[in-house]
Structure 1
């Protein structure tokens, strides 16, 4: 199969981003106010949580329901991550689950680490991705005014929330230079991208398979820690409707679950879907690699 042609606009965009992020790291370590670095970490966490609790667990999988104020908040948080609009993110993710590790999977891990990590974003989509994508039911997203608002105004929203706010706040409140603040905002953005991409690459290649040894997604603690609980990937692909995306007790390696639980207690989230313990145990006994331990 001949390789897909490069999308040079995307290649140049990512090269420029990474060069600027290196400058941002240097500024963060040598010249920037410590509050600017701290604020950058906070923005990374906000954007990352917008991806995991919003685009992934809410809009892609409908693993819980959110009231309008929370949906608006999650939309803004996700926009800070700058990973295209929710509609496209959820469409690609639904394709990924339905056709995992096939030509219809947008970031097919069987094509190698680099392709699954970020190469899929700089290559033209496989024809099967487009074909199956056109068949994917997205009616729930089309009916959500928050998703459609963000889709319509994504570019100005992303410029404002992903870059302008993280740049202006340090400049206005503690006198950081605009150059330092902007470069560190780019660093934040690139870090968020890579932590999300690791779920598609590393968590599909390395780790145990306690729930299903027949699929490539694996339990990867390092990815879970960097991506707020999204690295427990063998469980997630076995039970994609579980809002926790994991069976582990506690919140230490699953901060997204803690966030959703807090929103539930505040009355902002409801109808949280989980998997009965006996169903998990039977799946692990039938298909697991023997590493499963009863919780």
Structure 2
């Protein structure tokens, strides 16, 4: 099979359900489907083994875009006159925090996990905040995240940390997907997300909204708000702030899966990473989050000092815009810590001391 057809087959691989193989009962159609699954996986493995520069599974446009974006951002970080451009500097920090709130509080905790409910005004705010991050479509993000949780650290995980830091951080965006990601992704129900009118509008005009809220409006605010030059407005918003914001989100897939403790579940890769919580508005308590993904706080106690997303959601709850905030019971958390934790949690240490005392 020619390489281009082989890759097309991998990218367009279609299968809506797992097939249980039972020789003697399996139909010819199911047998052919199973054979195609194995052939696609084998073809993908052969591609991965090829030298980097020869690999047809690399999304070269995405790779070049990422390289140029980060080179531009690096140049900006090294040359930007921060103290002379105080208004632009402060505004850039605000935009990073806004994007973090949209990602953490909106697309992640609300739409992907349904860990709480939000009234229309808050959903609109969250959607605009998410669009300001310049990431991909709301439906695409939510579906990928559900697949990530359901098949974490397997070939079906879009950001599989078992494939290393580079892949889980940004490499997954520069490579064509593993056949299992495509296949398993079709099994994940996202009908509840599509039922939201805010998501429908966000999806229908996504490219326009992203361009407006992530780039055009922030740049215009800098230029017409305090007479920033076009050069520094574009450098700060389209390169520096955008690249920094992206890496904040990506770091949860990489750093927070590879570095940190496992006080809640020592049998999974996601870890507690305080530094990542600081940079993402409270998303770094990742061992807890993967253990209790329905908790709207994504951490055991909220940790307000490093979880401004939870602070804001609690404030919106006080005015009735956020409600039905889901949390696991204290008893459940304690039982999980004792049975599955690595012993570093305070509850585990107290239990160990009590046991030694007896």
Instruction: Identify the TM-score tier after normalising by the shorter chain.
Output: over 0.9
TM-score with structure 2 setting the length? 0.80
Deviation at 1:145, TM superposition (A): 1.1
Q: 1:35 to 1:206 in 2, by over 3 A?
A: same
Give the corresponding residue for 1:261. 314
* Distance in 1, Cα, partners of 2:219 & 2:71: 18
| Mapped contact 1:239–1:275 kept (Cα < 8 A) | yes
Q: Shift of residue 259 of structure 1?
A: 1.0
Q: CA deviation at 1:91?
A: 0.4
- Report the counterpart of residue 293 of structure 1 in structure 2: 346
Equivalent in the alignment of 1:119: 171
Alignment match, 2:278: 225
Q: Residue in 1 aligned with 2:105?
A: 53
CA distance in 2, matches of 1:25, 1:289: 39
1:93 is the counterpart of 2:145: yes
**Structure 2: distance between partners of 1:257 and 1:56:** 12
* Shift in CA distance, 174/249, structure 1 to aligned 2, threshold 3 Å: closer
* 1:54-93 matched pairs, under 5 angstroms: 54-93=106-145
Local SS of the residue matching 2:158: coil
d(CA) in 2 for partners of 1:54, 1:24: 29
Q: Distance in 2 between matches of 1:18 and 1:43?
A: 18
- 2:303 & 2:136 partners in 1: Cα distance? 31
Query: What are the superposed Cα offsets for residues 171-209 of structure 1, whole Å, 9 maximum, x if unpaired?
Result: 102111011011100211111111111100011111111
Residue 250 of structure 1, CA deviation: 3.9
Q: 5+ unaligned residues in a row in structure 1: which ranges?
A: none
Higher relative contact order (CA 8 A, sep 6+): 1
Decide which structure has the larger Cα Rg and report it: 2
Using the TM superposition, give the Cα deviation of residue 23 of structure 1 relative to its aligned residue in structure 2, in angstroms: 3.0
Cα offset, 1:32, TM superposition: 5.6
Q: Are the aligned partners of 1:230 and 1:245 in contact in 2 as well (CA < 8 Å)?
A: yes
Judging changes above 3 Å, is the alpha-carbon distance between structure 1 residues 72 and 46 closer, same or farther for their aligned structure 2 residues?
A: same
Checking the alignment, whether the CA contact within 8 Å between 2:82 and 2:89 is kept in structure 1 is no
2:115, 2:326 within 8 Å by CA — same for their partners in 1? yes
Q: Which residue in 2 is equivalent to 1:182?
A: 234
Name the structure 1 match of 2:187. Answer: 135
- Please state whether the residue corresponding to 2:101 is helix, strand or coil: helix
Matched residue, 2:161: 109
- Partner in structure 2 of residue 212 of structure 1: 265
Instruction: Please give the alpha-carbon distance, in whole angstroms, between the structure 1 residues aligned to 2:344 and 2:318.
Output: 34
